[in-house]
Amino acid sequence: MHIAIAADHNGIEFKSDLTAWLQAEGHTVDDHGGHDASPVDYPPLCQAVARRILDGTADRGIFIGGTGSGEHIAFNKMAGIRAGLGQDPLTTEISRAHNDANVLVLGAKVVSLERARDLVALWLATPFKGGRHQRRLDQIAALERGETLPVSDTS
Which segments of the chain are extended strands (E)? 2-7, 28-31, 60-65, 83-85, 103-107
Provide the b/e sequence for 65-91 (b: ≥16 CB within 10 Å): bbbbebbbebbbebeebbbbbbbeeee
Please tell me which residue in 9, 32, 98, 133 is annotated as part of the active site. 98
Question: Cβ distance 33 to 21 under 8 Å?
Answer: no
2 noted as active-site residue: no
In the chain, count H helices and then E strands: 6, 5
Give the catalytic positions in this structure.
Answer: 98
